[in-house]
Amino acid sequence: MPRANEQTAKVFYKGASDDFIVIVDDIKILNDWRKDRSIALSDVLNGWKIFVTHKHGAQGIMDTASKAHLENEFGTSDEEACMTKILENGEYQSSVTRERQDDTNVANGPIGITR
């Protein structure tokens, strides 16, 4: 059964000290939020977490941003204020991950070996 071929949407923010990413649901909700701030951030975001890529761009390994990272870049460690800045000034990116085929029951041993 193919797995993991879903669309991933994120907002990439290239900061002065580091690169930041937040995961969003889709571009329509993001654009609606940019025009109408009465929409809750929780409706725009897909998870309440800010990631840092350690200056490796949008494709780098994503670690959770520490309060020090946020403080250095945004002048505050308030996650809501930082997410707002990232969503306002960041670049929307989406991609579809390559689907993969996984074993259905690894307890039966490797695929291709008959018993």
Which segments in the chain show pLDDT lower than 50? 1
Alpha carbons 31 and 84: distance in angstroms, whole number: 13
For residue 1, the model assigns a pLDDT of: 47
Alpha carbons 52 and 72: distance in angstroms, whole number: 12
For residue 23, the model assigns a pLDDT of: 93
Q: What is the DSSP letter of 5?
A: -
**9-94 — its CATH code?**
3.30.1250.10
The alpha helices in the chain, defined as continuous H runs, are 27-35, 41-44, 67-74, 79-89
Residue 19: burial class (beta carbons within 10 Å; 0-12, 13-18, 19+): buried
Phi-psi region of 31 (alpha: psi -120 to 50; beta: other; left: phi over 0): alpha
CB neighbours (10 Å) of residue 62?
19
For residue 95, the model assigns a pLDDT of: 73
Q: Sketch the domain layout of the chain as residue ranges.
A: 9-94
Alpha carbons 80 and 12: distance in angstroms, whole number: 16
